[in-house]
Structure 1
Amino acid sequence: MGEELALTLDDEHRTEEEKLRADSNGDIDVNADDIAAHEAAQDVQTDLLDKLEAYFAGRFVRKDLTQRIKEGANVPTYVLEFLLGQYANSSDPVIIEQGVQNVKKTLANNYVRPDEAERVKSKIREEGSYTVIDKVSVTLNSKEDRYEAEFANLGIKNVPVDEMFVKNFERLLIGGIWSIVRVQYNHDGSDPFLIQQLVPVQVPSVDMKEVYNARPHFSTDEWIDLILRTIGMEPTQFTTRVKWLLVSRLIPFVENNYNFVELGPRGTGKSHVYKELSPNSILVSGGQTTVANLFFNMARHEVGLVGMWDVVAFDEVAGIKFKDNDGVQIMKDYMASGSFARGRDEIQASAGMVFVGNINQAIDVVLRTSNLFEPFPTVMANDTAFLDRIHNYLPGWEIPKYRPSFFTNGYGLITDYFAEVMRDLRKISYGDAFDEYFTLGKDLNQRDTIAVRKTVSGMIKLLYPDGQFTKDDVAEVLTFAMEMRRRVKEQLKKIGGMEFFDVNFSYIDKATFDEHYVPVPEQGATGLIPEGEGKPGQLYTVARDADQRLSLIKLESQMTAGTGKTSWTGVASNQAAKEGMNTAFNYLRANFGSVNQAIAPSRHDYIVNLTNMNNGATPEEVSLATYVALVSISVGRPVIGGLAILGDFTIGGTIKRLSGLADRLQVARDSGAKRVLLPASATAELPTVPAELMSAFTLMFYGSVEDAAFKALGVKQ
C-alpha cells in the first residue's frame, strides 16, 4: 500500500528515516516546543511505548498529531492516520515533525476542499493529470452501460470508471469511500475527466499473528489503555467503568449482526467512532432511509448498506423514518436472524445495527416518567418485538461530556490498521467463553442468552484477542454483558408488562454453585410515589389510558365553598375520563352520608386534576381514585403514604373486574409504591402474580366504594 501511495501522490515525499533525519535541518522547521511537550508526555508512557515499538513496529502513531492536522482538513480520522502511518510512523520527535509537515503538504497539494474545487479542476486540465484525495461514489448508468463516479468535494460527476475498480472495491457503490485518485483530463472526448488510478484509503490486510503474539506482553489495563488511545481518548481521564463503556462501543466492529443502542446527553462522542474511526462503518445521518438503500434494491438487484458495511449506525434515533411501510418489519427480521427476504431471495448479511441518540432529561426523571427507549420513533419505541432484538443498551448518561483533556497526546495503533484488526476478529467467536465456568440463571430466555453471548464474545475479542483469559476475566465480562442486556429487558418490562417480567439476571458458578445476580445501576432511582403522606386530595392510581397502556396517574384536588360545581382538568376531550369523574362525584353526592355527614357536596365546588406521570394519554379508569380524592379533600385527611389505588366502579357502586393485576402491580412497584389498595375480587388473580412482585407491597383489599375510602385514609370502620 505504501508503494501505491508513493506512486500516486503528486509529492516527492520519502519515508525513510535516514532521509528524514538528513532533512531535519533543512527547509522544514521542527517546532522545539512541540518536541519538548511530546517528550514530557512520552516519559509517562515509556513502558507502553517500548512495547509498541517492540511488538507493533510501524503500526502506531502519536494521536495528537491527528488533531493538529484535522483542524485544517475535514477528512475522517482514518484517512489522516493512513497518511501519518506513511510519513510519521516513529517515536522519534524529529522524524515525527518532519512527517507531519509532509502530511500537511500532501493534504495542501492533494486533498480537495470544496471551496477550491475549480482551482483543482483547472490544475487537472493544465497538467493533464493530477492526484486528489476525495470521497468517491459510483453508480451504474444503465443507458450507457457503464459505471460513473462522483467526487464529493471536487464536484465532478459522470466520470467513467473502469469496472475493475468496482469489482475490487464494491463499497464505491454504497455510500462511497475515501480514495487517492489519479484524475486525467481528456481534451478530445465527450468525457473531460477520466480515472487513471484509484486506491482506497485503508489497509488492505493485516497479519493477526502480530496481534496474537503481542497481546500477552500487555496487561489487561495496558491493553484497554492502548485501545482507548487508538480511538483518540486519554485513559487516565476516565474511571475503569467508563473505560469499559467506551471500549464496548467497538463491539459492533468485531461481532457480526450485533444490535447496539446508546442514548445519552449531547457531547459524549456517541457517533464519533462510527463516522471517523473505520472505513468499514457508515453513519446514516438525518434518519430517513429506504428499504432499497438499507437492505435490497429490487430494481437494480443490489444489496444495500447491510451487505457492504460491517456497521450501519443511525445518528439521532428520533429522526429514523422509513419511506416504506414495511421498513421496520424487515429491520426486525434482519436484526433477529441476519437475513431478510426480498422477492424470492433470502439474503444474508453480517452488518451490525447501531442506534445512537440523545436523552435530554436527567435519567432518574426519564425512569420515573417514561422509559429509556422513549427517544425512538413511536413505531419502534412501542414495538416490543423490535426492542427485544437489541443486544446491548449502553448507558450513555454515564459517559462524561468530552473536554479537551479527554483527547490523548499519547501513542496508539494507526486507526485503519486497528479497523482491519477488528474486521478480522469478526471471523471468530467467543460466545461460549464462559461455558467452562458458569451457567446462566433461569430468568434468561433464548433472546437474552443470545444477547449475552454476543456481548461476551465481542468484549473477549477486544480485550483478549489471543483467546487467553482466566475465570475471573470471564466473570467480569459476563457481568458486564448481563447488565447491558438487562437494561433492555427492564425497559421491555415497563412497556410490555408481565411478558418480560423475568429480569433478575444471574449466573451460577459451576465449581461452587454460588449464584451471582447482576443489577443495573439506574434501577435504584427514586420512585414517583412518595413514602410519606401527601396533601389531602392528592393520591396515585394505576390505570389504562386512552392508548390502552397502563400508566401511573396522579390526582390533585381543591375544594372551595360553592354550590356543587365540578371542574375536571387534565382530561382534555377524553369523554371516558370525564364520565368516570362524574360517576365519582354523583355517587359521592348521593351517598356521602355513609362516609361523613359533614362532607355536603352540594355546598362546595371541586377541582380535580389528572396527570399521567408516564407522559402517556389521558387515563380512563379513574372513578374510584376520583371518589377517594373527593372524600380526602372534603374531610381534610390525606391518604396513607406510599399508596397506589387500583380499581374502578359503576354509578350504582358496583366494583368493576380488575384486569391485568400483575402488570398493574409491576407499574406500581416501578413507581415506588409500598402499599396497594385493590378490590377483594382481585384475589382470584393473585396466583398469576410472581411471588417476588407480590412481596414488594402491603396488599389492602376493599369490598365496597366506601370501604376503599376508609382504608385509603387509614380510618378504622
Structure 2
Amino acid sequence: MYDTNKLRKYFPSTTVFKDPTVMSMFKAAKIESFLRDWILKRRSGADGAVGNINDLSNYVATIIPPRSEKERLEDEARSNGETRMFLAKINVSFNSKSNYYTFEIPSLGFSHSHTIIEDYVWNRIKDELIGEAGGWGLIKLGYMPPEGSKKNGRFTLLEFKNFCPYRVSLDDFREARTHFDVEEWMGILLGAIDYNPDGFARKGWIERDIWKAKHTMLTRLLPFVQPRVNLIELAPQQTGKSYMFGKISKYGWLLTGGQVSRTMLFIDRRPGARAKGLVTCNDFIAVDEIKSIEFANDKEMAGILKGYMEDGYVTVGGTRIDGEAGIVFLGNIAYENMDSDKDMIGDVNPIFRDSALLQRIHGFIPGQFVPALSPRMFINDWALNSEYFTEIMHLLRSTPETMKYRGMVEELVEVKSASGETSGREKEAVYRLCTAYLKLFFPHADSTLIRTQKFKQEFDKYCLTPAKSMQETVLKQMRFVNPGMFPDGNLGFSTYTVRWEL
C-alpha cells in the first residue's frame, strides 16, 4: 500500500476516504464512482468519515432525484417558477428550424421536444456545455407556459453549474507525480479507481504474478487517456470489466446487451432527427458481452467500424462523422481458453472473425491475469478522488498532450524488421499503446527524464513490453481467422526496443 500521508500531502484537496461499507451503499443505489466521490467530498468530515448514514442517504435522494420524481420536479417548475438544484447529466442540441437550443435529461425522462434554453441563459452557460454536447452538473429548471396559439409549454434550463469542486491542473498533477516512485504510483492509480493495491495477491502467486495483475487492471485505462485506442478483452466473469468501463468515468459509454446500430454509434439520419452518435461525444465506447451482442446489420457495421477504427471518421449519407472515441470490445471466455496461442474469438459474434477488423484493434488486454474480484481487492483508505482522476485522464487526451507524449515515444523506441519493412498498422498500434502507457505511468516525463537509464528501464517494463505483447496477440488471433496471411507460421512481427544510447 502507498503512504497515505504522503498522498494527502501532495494531493491535499483531491483525496477522499473510501470506506467499503459506504461505497457499497452507493453501488447498491447504482451511483457511479465520479458522482459518489463528489458527494463524499461534501458530506464527510476532516477525517474522511461519514458521520450519519441516514443524513447521507437523504442527501443523495435529494441531490440525485430518481425518475419517479419527474412529476414532482415538473410541478415545482410550474408552480414555483423553478425547481431545487439537482445533479444530473444533460445533453443539448441546436434546433436550427426554430433557432434555439433544447436539452434532454435522459435519467429523468425530459426530452428535446418539451424543452428550451433561452438565449440569456445559453450565453451564460454555453462554455461549460458546448465542448461535450452536454455534461454532468447541478441543474435548476423553470417552466415556460404556452404562448398564443402554441399548444405546449416547455421546461426551461435556468442554471447549470459544473460540479467539479476543485481546480484541475495537469501541471500540478505532473509535479505531484515527481514525489512518487513508479511502484507507489501504480498503487495510487489503483486506489483512484477503487482498488486496494495490496489485495491482488493469490495463493501460490509470486511477485511477478501480482505485478502483472495490477498492471493489467490499469491497462484498461488506456482509452481513458489516449484518443482512439481500440482494444479487446476476453476474460472470465467477475473481473471488473463492466465496472471499469461503465462506472469510473463520465466521459465513456458502456453498451451492454441488446442491438447495436450505425445510428447509435455514429448518427441518426432520419428526417428531423438531431441525435449525435456516441463516438462524437465520448472518450470511448465499450461494447460488452460481444458473444451475445447483436448488430442491426452485420455487414454494414463491419464496414463502418473498420473505417472509423482506422481513420477516426466515417461518411454516412454524405455527412462526415468525426470522433475521438476508442472502441473497446469486452467478452467472457473460459479461463483455459485465454491463451494468445489459442483461438480466443472462435465463438464470439462472426463480425469479429474478420482479419481486416482485427487489424484495426491495437491490442488485446490480457484479462487472464486479473483475478476474480474479492472484498479484499477494494480500497479501504484514503485515495485519489475518482472524479478528479477522470478529469485528469480526460485532459491528457487533448491534441497538444498527445503530440507531446507521442514525440517522446518516437524518441525512445527503435523498430527493426528482419525483412526491412515494418507494417504501418503494427507500428502505429505499438506506438499508440506506448503513448497511452506513458501518460498513465509517467505523466511527468520530459526530454530530460527520458534520457536517464532508470527511466528507460521502467519505460521498457511498464510501457513498451506490454504494448508489444498486446499487439502480438492481435496478430496471433488474425492467424487463426485467416491462416493465409501467415502461411509459414511467422507473424513477421518487428522488433521494438528502447534506444538505450539516447
Aligned to 1:267: 238
CA offsets, 1:637-658, max 9 Å, x none?
Answer: xxxxxxxxxxxxxxxxxxxxxx
Distance in 1, Cα, partners of 2:19 & 2:431? 36
| Residues 314 and 320, structure 1, Cα contact 8 Å, conserved in 2 | no
Could you tell me how far apart the structure 2 residues matched to 1:185 and 1:327 are?
Answer: 42
Judge conservation of contact 2:235–2:338 (CA < 8 Å) in 1. Answer: no
* 1:464 aligned onto 2:450: no
- Report the secondary structure of 1:97's partner residue: coil
Q: Which has the larger radius of gyration?
A: 1
Say whether 1:181 aligns with 2:139.
Answer: yes
Deviations 1:518-560 (A, max 9, x none): xxxxxxxxxxxxxxxxxxxxxxxxxxxxxxxxxxxxxxxxxxx
Give the 3 Å change call, closer, same or farther, for CA 328–438 of structure 1 in structure 2: closer
Distance 1:153 1:423, change over 3 A: closer
Deviation at 1:292, TM superposition (A): 3.3
**CA deviation map 1:377-408 (0-9, x unaligned):** 21x22210110111110122221111122111
1:230 to 192, 195, 203: 192
- Give the whole-Å Cα distance in 2 for the aligned partners of 1:464 and 1:508: 18
Matched, 1:76 2:54: no
8 Å Cα contact 2:409/2:435 also seen in 1: no
- For residues 275-322 of structure 1, what are the alpha-carbon distances to aligned partners after superposition, in whole Å with 9 as ceiling and x for unaligned? 211121111233523333322344568752222111111122230414
> Is 1:169 equivalent to 2:129 in the alignment?
yes
| Aligned: 1:356 with 2:347 | no
DSSP-derived class of the 2:60 partner: helix
Tell me how far apart the structure 2 counterparts of residues 293 and 313 of structure 1 sit (CA, whole Å): 13
Partner Cα distance (2:158, 2:500) in 1? 65
Quote the residue 2:477 is aligned against: 491
Whole-angstrom CA distance in 1 between matches of 2:88 and 2:432: 36
Indicate whether 1:453 and 2:431 are aligned: yes
| TM superposition score normalised by structure 1 | 0.58
Q: Are 2:229 and 1:258 aligned?
A: yes
Task: Compare relative contact order (CA 8 Å, sep 6+) and give the higher one, 1 or 2.
Answer: 2
- 2:267 matched to 1:314? no
2:63 is matched by which residue type in structure 1? N
Contact 1:439 1:510 in 2 (8 A): yes
State whether residues 486 and 503 of structure 1, in contact with CA within 8 Å, keep that contact through their aligned partners in structure 2. Answer: no
**1:208 corresponds to 2:170:** yes
Corresponding residue number in structure 2 for 1:107: 60
Q: Does 1:339 align with 2:325?
A: no
Corresponding position of 2:344? 372
Which runs of no fewer than 5 residues in structure 2 stay unpaired?
A: 201-209
Determine helix, strand or coil for the equivalent of 2:85.
strand
Matched to 1:440, the amino acid is: V
Structure 2 distance, partners of 1:441, 1:172, is 41
Whether 1:97 aligns to 2:50 is yes
Which has the higher mean CA deviation after the structures are superposed, 128-137 or 489-498? 128-137
Structure 1 unmatched runs, 5+: 1-43, 513-717
Is the alpha carbon distance of 1:398 and 1:503 closer, same or farther for their aligned partners in structure 2, counting shifts above 3 Å? farther
The one-letter code sitting in structure 1 at the alignment partner of 2:193 is I
Instruction: Find the counterpart in structure 2 of residue 154 from structure 1.
Output: 108
Q: 1:361 Cα shift?
A: 6.0
Distance 2:74 2:144 in 1: 12
Superposition deviation, residue 466 in structure 1 = 0.7
Q: Note if 1:131 corresponds to 2:85.
A: yes
Contact 1:135–1:177 (Cα < 8 Å) also in 2: yes
> Which string of whole-angstrom CA distances, capped at 9 and with x for unpartnered residues, describes residues 137-185 of structure 1?
4456677554444433433442323462567424775xx6443211235
State, as a whole percentage, how many aligned pairs show the same letter. Answer: 26
C-alpha deviation, 1:105, in angstroms: 4.0
Question: By how many angstroms is 1:448 displaced?
Answer: 1.3
Q: Identify the range of structure 1 (413-422 vs 283-292) with the bigger mean alpha-carbon deviation.
A: 283-292
Alignment of 1:586-665 (within 5 A): none
Amino acid at match of 2:330: V
The corresponding residue for 2:375 is: 404
Distance 1:455 1:511, change over 3 A: closer
Amino acid at match of 1:106: Y
1:372/1:364 CA distance change after superposition, 3 Å: closer
Residue 10 of structure 2 corresponds to which residue in structure 1?
55
CA contact (8 A) 1:358 1:375 kept: no
Distance 1:324 1:417, change over 3 A: same
> Which stretch shows the higher mean deviation, 441-450 or 163-172?
163-172
Distance of aligned partners of 1:421 and 1:436 in 2 relative to their CA distance in 1, 3 Å threshold? same
Is the 8 Å Cα contact of residues 141 and 148 (structure 1) preserved in structure 2? yes
| Residues 544-590 of structure 1, C-alpha deviations (whole Å, 9 max, x = no match) | xxxxxxxxxxxxxxxxxxxxxxxxxxxxxxxxxxxxxxxxxxxxxxx
TM-score, normalised via structure 2 length: 0.81
Contact 1:55 1:210 in 2 (8 A): no
Q: Is the 8 A contact 1:114 1:155 kept in 2?
A: yes
Q: For residues 136 and 484 of structure 1, what CA distance do their matches in structure 2 show?
A: 37
What is the CA-CA distance between 1:364 and the residue it aligns to? 6.0
The alignment of Structure 1 onto Structure 2 pairs a total of residues equal to 459
- In structure 2, relative to structure 1, the CA distance for the partners of 1:73 and 1:120 (3 Å cut) is farther
Partner deviation per Cα, 1:31-72 (whole Å, 9 max, x = no partner): xxxxxxxxxxxxx75xx2222222211111112266154046
What do residues 107-127 of structure 1 show as CA deviations (whole Å, max 9, x unaligned)? 132321234444554555555
Q: Which amino acid aligns with 1:376?
A: V
